[in-house]
Amino acid sequence: MLELHSAMLAPVLGALNFTELLLAGVAVIFGIVLLVFLGVFASVASLWFRAFMSGAGIGPLQMVVMKLKKVNPQLIVDTRIMVVQAGLDDITTNAMESHYLAGGNVPLVIRALIAAHRAQIPLDWKTASAIDLAGRNVLEAVQTSVKTKVIDCPDGRTGRPTLDGVARDGIQLRAKARVTVRTNIQQLIGGATEETIIARVGEGIVSAIGSCASHREVLANPMLIARAVLAKGLDSQTAYEIVSIDIADIDIGDNVGARLQADQAEADMRIARAHAEERRAAAVALEQEMRALTQENQAEVVLSESEIPKAMADAYRRGALRAAPKT
């Protein structure tokens, strides 16, 4: 009887042992996971406490996940605290993590957004992060929007120290300009750069000088050039907005008109000499032709004179030769 009960209880005891082993294994795995979590949490405990006290709203589990995703939690917490303290609550932690993983400079973008918010410049996270990923310094762009930037024209990279234009009276003027610009954030992506502004302003100044009737007008009022250039809207489709154009220096250069007239006179003189030489050569050739014709006519005269004795002899033989009557 006892053997029968033992045989019936053996499967039950085996199932109980398997369940206990399974539970023990789960408990061990859970303990290991808990220890790992506690170990990771211990490394971010102080950071979590700082975030909690600052109202950043980043939990410890989220920080552990950041570490697993190879995101620097210290950087995200610092920037999140900056965002909260600045009142930019619409920027989420996930957005900052995504930008970090995309290779962006999260602190730079956050500082740019805070500066734009303080200066009341319309700039959102999407635009700022796109500018940063495009390789532009978004913080410098915001700073240039708040504080204007001065560009020298020409800037020296072209190898020309001045912008040279010629007025309609032929006098060359050499000018230097300073262009005050601020960043146009809305066109920062895809907009033309500083080199385009320099090229356009240089072209406009040369054109404005060339449209003046006299160089004295420009020397008397250099702002004529600045106003003419500024009215052309040279900042169209660029990353900058031109605030003002100032003529820093203007000097008189060469008398290009007189030099061109002298060159034209020299060219005209050479052309006249060529025509005179052509006419002289034609006259010499005609003279030679006339001399040849004269020689030819003289030969014919000699030939004709040689026929006279023959005619006289023939007339004498025919008796046709008579003496002249006596008077």
Q: What is the pLDDT of residues 13-25, one digit of tens each?
A: 455 465 766 677 7
CB contact at 8 A, 164 and 208: no
Q: Give the pLDDT confidence score for residue 4 in this predicted structure.
A: 42
Q: Give the pLDDT confidence score for residue 235 in this predicted structure.
A: 76
Query: Rounded to whole angstroms, how far apart are CA atoms 288 and 269?
Result: 28
Higher pLDDT, 293 or 190: 293
pLDDT greater than 50 at residue 26:
yes
pLDDT greater than 70 at residue 83:
yes
The β-bridge partners of 252 are 173
Q: Give the pLDDT confidence score for residue 301 in this predicted structure.
A: 82
pLDDT greater than 70 at residue 6:
no
Torsions phi, psi of 23, nearest 5?
-65, -40
Please state the rounded mean pLDDT for residues 18-46: 68
For residue 171, what are the contacts with CB-CB under 8 A and spacing of at least 6? 214, 215, 252, 253, 255, 256, 257
Higher pLDDT, 308 or 99: 99
pLDDT interval class at 42 (50, 70, 90)? low
Q: Give the pLDDT confidence score for residue 9 in this predicted structure.
A: 43
Please state the rounded mean pLDDT for residues 95-114: 89
Token pair of 171, please?
């006098």
Query: Rounded to whole angstroms, how far apart are CA atoms 197 and 180?
Result: 11
pLDDT interval class at 321 (50, 70, 90)? low
Which domains can be identified in the chain, with CATH numbers?
A: 23-144 (no CATH), 153-256 (3.30.479.30)
% pLDDT > 70, the chain: 86
What mean pLDDT, rounded, does the chain reach? Answer: 79
Q: What is the pLDDT of residues 123-167, one digit of tens each?
A: 888 888 888 888 888 888 888 877 788 888 887 776 678 888 888
